[in-house]
Amino acid sequence: MNILNKNNRHASEPYLILEICNGNEKAYEELYFEYYYQLCRFAESITKCSELARDIVQEVFLNIWVKRKSWEVKHSLKAYLYQAVRNQALNMVEQQGARHGLSVRLKEEFDMQSKATAEEGDDPASKLPGLINQIWELVEEMPDQRKMVFVLHRKHGLSYLEISEVMGIARKTVENHMGKVFQELREKLDTRVYL
Amino acid sequence: MNHNLLIRYLTDESADNEQYEVERWLEADPEHRKLLEELELIWRTSGMNLEAVENDFDAEVDWKALRYRIEIEVNREKKKMKPDKVGKEYRQSGFAKRADFAQFMRVAAVMLIAAFAGIFAWLNFHVVGSEEELVMREIVMDKGQRANLVLSDGTNVNLNADSKISMPEVFQQDKREVFLLEGEAYFEVAGDPDWPFLIHSGGAVIRVLGTSFAVRAYPEDEMVRVVVNEGTVSLASGHDKSIGANLTAGQLGLFHIKNDTVISKEVEDMEQFLSWIDGYLIFKETSMKEVALQQERRYNVEVDFGKPSIEELFLTATLKGRSVTNVLNVIAASLEIDYYQTDRQTIVFTDHDEKAPTEFDRH
């Protein structure tokens, strides 16, 4: 079940989906572990909160299993999952205020260390860390849609078509966004230093 | 040359004839190729991964939580169906293992507590002890984590990094009992004279009626330390209640685990013992050895000393930064020392004159 084709997709994806529809737990488990981390990271990029990100991924997978009999994936499984996570994230971010009143509330503090260190850059052998950070700092400032297109493409390896599916926009729009990102990055970065 | 086309070429999204067009354009002028190289650098670099390790995400833990939730959903569906249908569905669902269900529930509850808020909050609704015995719940803080809990009686507990606390799901009728297995916690106990609050920690028993105080019992301390902010607290040995002391506001009590003794003393400045609650680290003539230890807990890093003499230095400083870098800079400036990071998690304090090893990155 682990044959990857040129686009890094499982050749056996249709098989996986079919099995899950039929209630094959092993297939479901495989799907979960295959996509867990990337979906969590993607969810976190929207919510800025890792706990919420995990909840979101949880909900998405729960729904898949509960509604497995009628589960349908039109084109790309990856696009389906990312779209589901995105929708769930946008919903949950709205709902965040409404939490049950419970006798024990747990409020956790983030490990700021990992975020602080990521800003420093830690590849001693090359100058690229500086560039990586600059790129993402600039991307962070960009409008939401444009940022998401770039993140989905570069960080999550989605194709233009998949991105258009996930975000519900035209493929041409995806292209335009990508174009604008590169344009801005090229203008604002001093790439010549690194070449 | 259409900018978007060029990008498409770069990202492998262009059609064959488009590729040909781009390649022809590239050959036309060396400047064109330069442009592509710049874009290619950006593209390549943006795909590189400098993200921190996935500390926040644990697939195994979440998978177990998911299975548990699915179980709940399956049971919920069960209840809506008629008995004969139920049997069939239940047997078909592989997730249902009747014999282990109760056990799984308890194990799941314990594991999940340390996981994340959403599921935890939800779980609290459902894991109600239907059994007679006391169901204990354990909450664990790793290095770099802190948390605030509000207990069912209204008591507020602030847990510091590297701590583990255990308590029953539901308090008993005659007493409220918790077990600070290791670490540090600040309690604001809801007052109730008929319902004593007991904390077991490191072999000592701390008994409270209603008050606020901090208990510290890290294994390496060899002592249980109680600092009282408000009210009265009694600190006693776990197996001999006559060995103990009553501590009032502004007092500090120490239970020496091996010697089985309790001493108490007045404390001028509470702040240094309680600053961690707000995320500060306050040091007053504290040895760098202790400073390093606290930093390791607070930020989940490893701290080493390039020169052993530095360990003997004393630090007086108030560290408010959430960023490790800020904190390190303050310490370095205060003591006129220097530091460098060898990797993501390790910090080494050293002298000004000493040069950091060249193969490492210098900050």
Residues facing residue B227 across a β-bridge:
B214, B252
What are the angstrom distances between the C-alpha of B79 and each of A185, B65, B83, B129?
Answer: 57, 21, 9, 20
Residues facing residue B166 across a β-bridge:
B138, B179
Spatial separation of the C-alpha atoms in residues A88 and A92, rounded to whole Å: 6
Give the range with max mean pLDDT: A128-132, A173-177, B272-276.
A173-177
Give the pLDDT of residue B92.
Answer: 43
Q: Identify whether the C-beta of residue A118 lies closer than 8 Å to the C-beta of residue B51.
A: yes
DSSP B170: S
| Span A127-138, average pLDDT | 76
In chain A, the DSSP E strands lie at 106-108
Facing residue for B52 by CB, picked from A23, A100, A117: A117
Phi-psi region of B139 (alpha: psi -120 to 50; beta: other; left: phi over 0): beta
| Interchain contact, B59 vs A123, CB within 8 Å | no
| Interchain contact, B119 vs A104, CB within 8 Å | no
Which residues does chain B have within 8 Å of residue A182's beta carbon, measured at their own beta carbons?
3, 7, 39, 42-43
Measured in angstroms, the CA of A176 and the nearest CA of chain B are apart by 7
User: What's the length of chain A?
Assistant: 195
Which residues does chain B have within 8 Å of residue A100's beta carbon, measured at their own beta carbons?
121-122, 125
> Which amino acid belongs to residue A92?
M
Spatial separation of the C-alpha atoms in residues B300 and A109, rounded to whole Å: 13
Question: Which of residues B59 and A9 earns the better pLDDT score?
Answer: B59
B75 is written with which tokens?
Answer: 């049971």
| Interchain contact, B121 vs A102, CB within 8 Å | yes
User: How big is the A-B interface in CB pairs under 8 Å?
Assistant: 203
**Residue B246, Cβ density class (10 Å: 0-12 exposed, 13-18 middle, ≥19 buried):** middle
Helix (H) / strand (E) element for B99: namely: helix B98-113
What are the angstrom distances between the C-alpha of B155 and each of A104, B190, B209, B216, B232?
Answer: 10, 5, 11, 18, 16
What are the angstrom distances between the C-alpha of A155 and each of A41, A87, A189, B47, B51?
Answer: 9, 19, 20, 6, 10
Residues facing residue B157 across a β-bridge:
B149, B187
Backbone angles phi, psi at B362, to 5 degrees: -100, 130
B142 is written with which tokens?
Answer: 């790793």
Which residues does chain A have within 8 Å of residue B342's beta carbon, measured at their own beta carbons?
none
B191-195 long-range contacts (CB < 8 A, ≥24 apart) are B192/B153, B195/B153, B195/B171
3-state DSSP call for residue B268? coil
Please identify which residue in the block is written with the tokens 């902010």: B229
Q: Identify whether the C-beta of residue A174 lies closer than 8 Å to the C-beta of residue A149.
A: yes
Give the pLDDT of residue B242.
Answer: 85
ipTM summary value: 0.71
From first to last of its 363 residues, chain B has per-residue pLDDT tens of 888 888 988 888 888 888 888 889 988 888 888 888 888 888 888 877 654 445 678 888 888 889 888 888 887 777 776 454 444 444 444 444 443 444 444 444 444 333 333 344 444 434 444 334 678 888 888 888 888 888 888 888 888 888 999 988 888 888 889 998 788 999 988 877 788 899 998 888 898 877 888 888 888 788 888 998 888 888 988 888 888 889 988 899 998 888 888 889 888 878 778 878 777 778 888 889 888 888 888 777 888 888 888 888 888 888 765 566 677 878 888 888 888 777 656 788 887 765 555 444 433
Measured in angstroms, the CA of A41 and the nearest CA of chain B are apart by 9
Q: Identify whether the C-beta of residue B68 lies closer than 8 Å to the C-beta of residue B107.
A: no
Give the pLDDT of residue B344.
Answer: 59
What DSSP line would sit under B326-339, residue for residue?
Answer: HHHHHHHHHHT-EE
**Nearest in space to B73 (alpha carbons), one of A64, A80, A90, A24:** A64
B91: number of Cβ within 10 Å:
10
Residue A43 has pLDDT above 50, yes or no: yes
Which residues does chain A have within 8 Å of residue B360's beta carbon, measured at their own beta carbons?
124
Buried b (16+ CB within 10 A) or exposed e, B134-172: ebebebbbebbbbbebbbbeebebbbbbbbbbbbbbebe
Helix axes B324-335, B288-299, angle to 10 degrees: 170
Binned at pLDDT 50, 70 and 90, residue A127 comes out as low
Helices and strands, number each (H, E), in chain A: 9, 1
Mean pLDDT of chain A: 75
Spatial separation of the C-alpha atoms in residues B97 and B16, rounded to whole Å: 55
Facing residue for B124 by CB, picked from A23, A29, A104: A104
Which residues does chain A have within 8 Å of residue B47's beta carbon, measured at their own beta carbons?
154-155
Spatial separation of the C-alpha atoms in residues B232 and B249, rounded to whole Å: 7
B245: number of Cβ within 10 Å:
18
B262 is written with which tokens?
Answer: 């309790």
Mutate to test the interface with B, among A6, A22, A33, A58 (most CBs of B within 10 A): A58
Give the pLDDT of residue A1.
Answer: 31
Please identify which residue in the block is written with the tokens 């390549």: B44
Comparing alpha-carbon positions, the chain B residue that sits nearest to A186 is B39
DSSP B353: S
- The sign of the torsion formed by the CA atoms of B214, B215, B219, B221 equals positive
